[in-house]
C-alpha cells in the first residue's frame, strides 16, 4: 500500500478540459505523485487517509508494544517513568486522532459518494484540504518527539493543572494542543463537507431513509464531529493561552477551577467515543447482511438507534467525572443517562443477531471480522454498563478495568470492524481481493491476541491496578495477568504484520487472478453496481434509486411467495465504467499549500513568532490563490470569485447527468 500505486488509473480516456480564465491555472492530471498531491478526488483522498492512518497505526502500535514490554514484569526499568508517560499519552492520542478517526474518514470519503450515488463530495477542494490539514497536524504532533523535548506527557485527557507549564514544562503539551487544534480544523471542515454531501448530493430517488446504514452512521458521526470539535477547540485554545500567554484559565492558585477543563474535554470526549465506534457499526451493518444473504433487520431501528446514540452521547459526558467531586445529584443524573444509552446500543446488537438469524452465513474474512466485532463490542458494552453504576465506578475508574473496557469498545468494536471493512471493500478500491486464507490467519491472530491482551485487564483492574502507572510492584497479584497481556499484545502485532504481508502479497498475486468484477460479494449497495476499481468518475450515469438496497433489487426480486428470484445477471445490470468526458472537478495544489502553513504557525506559537508570520503568509496566500483559482469550467468562468462556487458546479454536474437516466433494461 504505497502512495505511488495507481489503482484508479483509467482506461476510459478521461481528460481535463483546461481553460485558464483566472489569475492562476489549475493543474492538470499528470499521473504520478503530482496527481496525488493535487487530487480532489474523494477516492484518492480516501486512500491517502487510509494509508496515512495505517502508518500511524504502526506508530501507535509500537508505542503500545513499548508500554506492554515495560509492564510485562513488575518493577521494570525498561523505559523511564518520564518516557513512559510520554509514550502512553502519545499512544492514546495517536490511536484516537491519527488512526481510528482518519481510518473512519477514509471509509467516509471513499464510500459516502458511492453509496448515495454521487460523483464526488460537495466540496472537493475542501475535502483535499481536510486531508492535508489533518496530515500536517498529525506530523506536527509527532515532531514533538524531535524538537519539542519529547511527546506530550499529560495523558490523552491532559487534565489541568497537570498540563500547565509548571507541571509539564517541556513543549510536549504545546504540541498536543496545537496538533489537535490543527487536526480538529481538518475534521470540522470534513464534517461540514460530508454532511452537505449526504444531505444534498444524493442520486435521484435516494431518500434519506434509503441510504445505506453505513452512510447513516457516518452522517451521524459527522454531526457529532461538527458539534464536539468546537468544544475541544475552545479547551485546547484556553490551555494554549495559559501555557503561552499566561492567562489564568486553569491555575487553581488564581481561583480557577480545574473542572472546567474536564467538562470541556469530556463534552467533546464522550461524543468522540461514538465518533470512533459508529463508523464501525455502519461497516458491519453492510457486511453482515451481505454475508447472511438477508437485508439488514430493522433498518429503521438501526438508523434511529444510531441517531439516538448520537443524541444521548451528548448527555453523558460527566460519567467520566464520577469521582471528581461534581456532587451526588449530578452523578446520579449522569449515571442514569449513561445506563439508558445501553438501550439503543442493545437494539443494534440484537438487530445484527436477527439479521444473522435464519441467514446463510458465509464466513469470509470480512464476515469473521464483523461477527467478531459484534461479540467483542458486546463485552465492552457490558463492562460499560458496570461503569454506569456510579458507586461501582468509584472502584473501577482509573483502573485497568477501564482500560479493558475501552479497548473492547474501541479495538473490539471499532478496529475489528474497520479491518472487516478493509477486507470487504478492498476489491472495490484496488481491483483485487485480499487473500482470504491469510485474512483468516490475520483475523484469528488478532482476535486471540486482542482477548489475551485486554481480557486480563478486567482482572487487573478489579484487583486494583491503577491506570497510567509506569510500573507496579510484585505482591499485588498483578504479575501473571500483566505477562499474559504483554504476550497478547505481541500476538496483535504479529496479526498486523500478517495484514501488511497480505496487502503486499495479494497485490503481487493479483496479476494471475481473475479480476473481482463489479460485485464480487453479491452485495447490496450502489458502490457494487460500478466497476472495481471504481472509475474516476464513479458512475457512468447516476442511478435512479427506487428502494433501500436498490442495487440488490436490480439483481433480484422477491416473488409473491416471498421467494427470492434472480432477475438479472450482475454483469448485465452493472455499469461498465466506459463513460468518457464526464466533467470532474479539477485538481488543485492550494489545499496542500494551505495545510503546510498551519504547522508553521504552530511552531511559531511555540518557538518563534516570526515563523507564525511565515506560516500565516503561506496560509493566507493559499486562501487568496484558492479563491482566484478558476473553477475550470468553460461556462462557469464568469462572475465567480468566491471559493464556494465549485459546489454549485458539481450540483449542476450531478443534476445534468442524473436527468439523463434511462432506467434499466
Partner 1 sequence: MRSRRNLSGLVVLLGLLLAGCASDAELDTLKPQSETARQIDDLLDPVLAIAGVVLVLVCGAVAWLGWKNRVASYEGDDDFPEQMAHNNTLEILMTGVPAIIMVVVAVMTLTTHLDINSYDDANAMPVVVEGESTNWEPKIVVVGNQWWWEFRYYFSEDVTAESLGSDMKNLPPADIVTSGQIIIPTGQEVELLVTSRDVIHSFWIPALNGKRDARPGFFAPWKIEADNPGVYFGQCTEFCGLSHARMRMQTIAMTSNDFQAWVDQQMQPAAEATGEAVLRGQEAFVTNCSGCHLVDGLNGSEDISAPVQSGAAPNLTHFASRTTFAGGILSTYNDDGTFNRDDVSRWLREPEVVKDNAANDLPDGTLPRGMPNLGLSERTISDLVAYLETLGPRPTDEIIADSEVE
Partner 2 sequence: MSTATATADTHHDHDSHATNTGISNNKLAMWLFLSTECLLFGALISTYLLYKTRGNGDVLPTDIFDIPFTSVSSFVLLMSSLTMVLALSAVTRGEMDRGKAWLLVTAMLGGVFIGGQVYEFTSFYREGLGYTTNPAASAFYTLTGFHGVHVSLGILMLMSLWVAAQQGKLTQKNTETVEIVGLYWHFVDIVWIFIFTVIYLIPPA
Q: Segment 562-581, which members bind partner 2 (CB under 8 A)?
A: 572-576, 578-581
Q: Please tell me whether residue 233 binds partner 1 under the rule CB under 8 A.
A: no
Binding partner at 458 among partner 2, partner 1, none, C-beta below 5 to 8 Å by kind: partner 1
CA distances from 165 to 151, 251, 266 (A): 14, 10, 22
Minimum CB–partner distance for residue 200 and partner 1 (Å)? 28
Binding partner at 588 among partner 1, partner 2, none, C-beta below 5 to 8 Å by kind: none
Residue with smaller CB distance to partner 1, 255 or 663: 255
The rounded distance, in Å, linking the Cα atoms of 309 and 330 is 20
For the segment 319-338, give every residue that binds partner 1 (CB under 8 A).
323-325, 328, 331-332, 335-336
| CA of residue 506 relative to chain centroid, distance | 24
For the segment 583-602, give every residue that binds partner 2 (CB under 8 A).
583
Binder among 9, 17, 18, 82 for partner 1 (CB under 8 A):
82
Choices 51-59, 164-172, 225-233, 466-474 (CB under 8 A): range interacting with partner 2 = 225-233
The DSSP annotation for 243-307 comes to HHH---SS-GGGT--THHHHHHHHHHHHHHHHHHHHHHHHHHHHHHHHTTTSPPTTHHHHHHHHH
Cβ-based burial of 232 (10 A; exposed 0-12, middle 13-18, buried ≥19): buried
Q: At residue 557, what are phi and psi to the nearest 5 degrees?
A: -135, 160
Altogether, the residues listed in the chain come to a count of 665
Contact code string over 166-185 relative to partner 1, x by CB under 8 A? xxxx----------------
For the segment 121-150, give every residue that binds partner 2 (CB under 8 A).
122-123
Q: At residue 92, what are phi and psi to the nearest 5 degrees?
A: -65, -50
Say which residues have a Cβ less than 8 Å from residue 333's Cβ, sequence separation at least 6: none
For the segment 267-296, give every residue that binds partner 2 (CB under 8 A).
267
Q: At residue 566, what are phi and psi to the nearest 5 degrees?
A: -80, 130
CB 463 within 8 A of CB 476: yes
Binder among 75, 246, 512, 559 for partner 2 (CB under 8 A):
246
Minimum CB–partner distance for residue 207 and partner 1 (Å)? 16
Residue with smaller CB distance to partner 2, 375 or 636: 636
H helix intervals, 118-171 = 124-147
Maximum Cα–Cα distance across the chain: 78
Choices 93-101, 147-155, 584-592, 643-651 (CB under 8 A): range interacting with partner 1 = 147-155
Minimum CB–partner distance for residue 275 and partner 2 (Å)? 14
The rounded distance, in Å, linking the Cα atoms of 108 and 112 is 5
Residue with smaller CB distance to partner 2, 11 or 255: 255
Minimum CB–partner distance for residue 321 and partner 1 (Å)? 8
CA distances from 214 to 57, 110, 650 (A): 23, 12, 23
CB 334 within 8 A of CB 387: no
The rounded distance, in Å, linking the Cα atoms of 28 and 271 is 40
Q: Please tell me whether residue 66 binds partner 1 under the rule CB under 8 A.
A: no
As given in the structure block, the three cell numbers for residue 506 are 495479494
Q: At residue 556, what are phi and psi to the nearest 5 degrees?
A: -130, 160
Contact code string over 513-552 relative to partner 1, x by CB under 8 A? ---------x------------------------------
| CA of residue 663 relative to chain centroid, distance | 35
Q: Please tell me whether residue 182 binds partner 2 under the rule CB under 8 A.
A: no
The rounded distance, in Å, linking the Cα atoms of 39 and 26 is 11
Binding partner at 447 among partner 1, partner 2, none, C-beta below 5 to 8 Å by kind: partner 1
The rounded distance, in Å, linking the Cα atoms of 41 and 16 is 13
Q: Please tell me whether residue 470 binds partner 2 under the rule CB under 8 A.
A: no
Q: Which helix (H) or strand (E) holds 556?
A: strand 556-558
User: Which is it for the CA torsion 236, 238, 239, 245, positive or negative?
Assistant: positive
Binder among 165, 196, 350, 392 for partner 2 (CB under 8 A):
196
Residue with smaller CB distance to partner 2, 312 or 379: 312
Residue with smaller CB distance to partner 2, 492 or 650: 650
Q: Please tell me whether residue 293 binds partner 1 under the rule CB under 8 A.
A: yes
Binding partner at 200 among partner 2, partner 1, none, C-beta below 5 to 8 Å by kind: partner 2
Q: Identify the residue whose cell numbers are 478495568.
A: 401
Binder among 222, 351, 482, 554 for partner 1 (CB under 8 A):
351
Residue with smaller CB distance to partner 2, 150 or 585: 585
Minimum CB–partner distance for residue 299 and partner 1 (Å)? 7
For the segment 438-477, give every residue that binds partner 1 (CB under 8 A).
444, 447-448, 451, 455-456, 458-459, 461-477
Q: Please tell me whether residue 547 binds partner 2 under the rule CB under 8 A.
A: no
For the segment 565-594, give every residue that binds partner 1 (CB under 8 A).
566
As given in the structure block, the three cell numbers for residue 10 are 483509467
Q: Identify the residue whose cell numbers are 488509473.
A: 9
Binder among 41, 63, 120, 540 for partner 2 (CB under 8 A):
540
Binding partner at 347 among partner 2, partner 1, none, C-beta below 5 to 8 Å by kind: partner 1
Minimum CB–partner distance for residue 163 and partner 1 (Å)? 9
Residue with smaller CB distance to partner 2, 5 or 576: 576
As given in the structure block, the three cell numbers for residue 507 are 497485490
Q: How large is the angle between the packed helices 416-430 and 101-116, nearest 10 degrees? A: 50
For the segment 357-416, give every residue that binds partner 1 (CB under 8 A).
357-363, 368, 371-372, 374-375, 378-379, 382-383, 385-386, 388-399
Minimum CB–partner distance for residue 509 and partner 2 (Å)? 29
The rounded distance, in Å, linking the Cα atoms of 292 and 426 is 19
Amino acid at each position: 500500500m504505497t502512495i505511488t500505486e495507481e489503482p484508479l488509473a483509467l482506461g476510459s480516456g478521461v481528460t481535463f478540459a483546461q481553460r485558464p480564465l483566472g489569475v492562476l491555472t489549475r493543474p492538470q492530471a499528470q499521473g504520478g505523485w503530482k496527481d496525488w498531491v493535487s487530487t480532489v478526488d474523494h477516492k484518492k483522498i480516501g486512500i491517502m487517509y487510509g494509508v496515512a492512518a495505517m502508518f500511524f497505526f504502526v506508530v501507535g502500535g509500537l508505542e503500545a508494544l513499548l508500554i506492554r514490554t515495560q509492564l510485562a514484569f513488575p518493577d521494570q526499568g525498561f523505559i523511564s517513568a518520564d518516557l513512559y508517560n510520554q509514550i502512553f499519552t502519545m499512544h492514546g492520542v495517536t490511536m484516537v486522532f491519527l488512526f481510528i478517526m482518519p481510518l473512519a474518514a477514509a471509509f467516509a470519503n471513499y464510500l459516502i459518494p458511492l453509496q448515495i450515488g454521487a460523483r464526488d463530495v460537495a466540496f472537493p477542494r475542501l475535502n483535499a484540504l481536510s486531508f492535508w490539514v489533518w496530515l500536517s497536524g498529525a506530523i506536527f504532533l509527532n515532531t514533538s518527539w524531535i524538537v519539542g523535548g519529547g511527546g506530550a506527557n499529560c495523558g490523552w485527557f491532559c487534565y489541568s493543572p497537570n498540563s500547565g507549564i509548571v507541571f509539564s514544562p517541556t513543549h510536549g503539551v504545546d504540541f498536543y494542543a496545537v496538533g489537535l487544534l490543527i487536526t480538529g480544523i481538518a475534521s470540522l471542515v470534513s464534517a461540514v463537507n460530508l454532511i452537505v454531501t449526504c444531505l444534498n448530493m444524493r442520486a435521484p430517488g435516494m431518500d434519506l431513509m434509503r441510504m445505506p446504514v453505513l452512510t447513516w452512521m457516518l452522517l451521524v458521526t459527522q454531526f457529532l464531529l461538527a458539534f464536539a470539535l468546537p468544544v475541544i477547540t475552545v479547551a485546547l485554545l484556553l490551555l494554549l493561552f495559559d501555557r503561552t500567554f499566561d492567562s489564568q484559565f486553569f491555575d487553581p492558585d488564581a481561583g480557577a477551577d480545574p473542572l472546567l477543563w474536564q467538562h470541556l474535554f469530556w463534552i467533546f470526549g464522550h461524543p468522540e467515543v461514538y465518533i470512533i465506534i459508529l463508523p464501525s457499526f455502519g461497516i458491519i451493518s453492510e457486511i453482515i447482511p451481505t454475508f447472511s444473504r438477508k437485508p439488514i433487520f430493522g433498518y429503521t431501528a438501526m438508523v434511529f438507534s444510531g441517531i439516538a446514540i448520537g443524541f444521548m452521547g451528548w448527555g453523558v459526558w460527566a460519567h467520566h467525572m464520577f469521582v471528581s467531586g461534581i456532587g451526588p445529584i449530578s452523578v446520579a443524573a449522569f449515571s442514569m443517562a449513561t445506563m439508558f444509552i445501553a438501550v439503543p446500543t442493545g437494539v443494534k446488537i440484537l438487530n445484527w443477531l436477527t439479521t444473522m438469524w435464519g441467514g446463510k452465513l458465509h464466513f469470509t474474512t470480512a464476515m469473521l471480522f464483523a461477527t467478531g466485532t459484534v461479540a467483542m463490542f458486546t463485552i465492552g458494552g457490558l463492562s460499560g454498563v458496570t461503569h454506569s453504576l456510579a458507586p461501582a465506578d468509584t472502584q473501577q475508574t482509573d483502573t485497568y478495568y477501564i482500560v479493558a473496557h475501552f479497548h473492547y469498545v474501541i479495538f473490539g468494536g471499532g478496529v475489528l470492524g474497520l479491518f472487516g471493512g478493509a477486507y470487504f471493500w478492498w476489491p472495490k478500491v484496488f481491483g483485487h481481493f485480499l487473500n482470504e486464507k491469510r485474512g483468516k490467519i490475520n483475523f484469528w491472530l488478532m482476535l486471540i491476541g486482542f482477548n489475551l491482551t485486554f481480557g486480563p485487564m478486567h482482572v487487573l483492574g478489579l484487583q486494583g491496578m491503577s491506570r497510567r502507572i509506569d510500573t507496579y510492584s510484585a505482591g499485588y497479584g498483578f504479575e501473571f495477568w500483566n505477562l499474559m497481556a504483554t504476550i497478547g499484545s505481541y500476538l496483535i502485532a504479529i496479526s498486523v504484520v500478517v495484514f501488511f504481508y497480505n496487502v503486499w502479497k495479494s497485490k503481487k498475486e493479483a496479476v494471475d487472478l481473475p479480476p473481482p468484477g463489479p460485485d464480487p460479494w453479491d452485495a447490496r449497495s450502489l458502490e457494487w453496481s460500478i466497476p472495481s476499481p471504481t472509475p474516476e468518475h464513479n458512475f457512468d450515469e447516476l442511478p435512479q434509486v427506487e428502494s433501500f438496497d436498490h442495487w440488490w433489487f436490480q439483481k433480484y426480486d422477491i416473488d409473491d411467495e416471498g421467494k427470492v428470484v434472480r432477475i438479472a445477471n450482475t454483469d448485465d445490470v452493472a455499469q461498465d465504467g466506459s463513460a468518457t468526458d464526464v466533467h470532474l472537478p479539477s485538481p488543485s495544489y492550494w489545499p496542500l499549500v494551505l495545510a503546510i502553513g498551519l504547522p508553521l504557525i504552530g511552531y511559531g506559537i511555540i518557538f518563534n513568532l516570526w515563523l507564525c508570520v511565515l506560516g500565516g503568509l503561506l496560509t493566507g496566500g493559499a486562501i487568496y490563490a484558492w479563491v482566484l483559482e478558476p473553477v475550470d469550467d468553460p461556462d462557469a468562468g464568469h462572475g465567480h470569485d468566491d471559493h464556494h462556487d465549485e459546489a454549485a458546479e458539481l450540483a449542476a454536474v450531478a443534476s445534468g447527468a442524473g436527468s439523463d437516466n434511462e432506467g434499466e433494461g
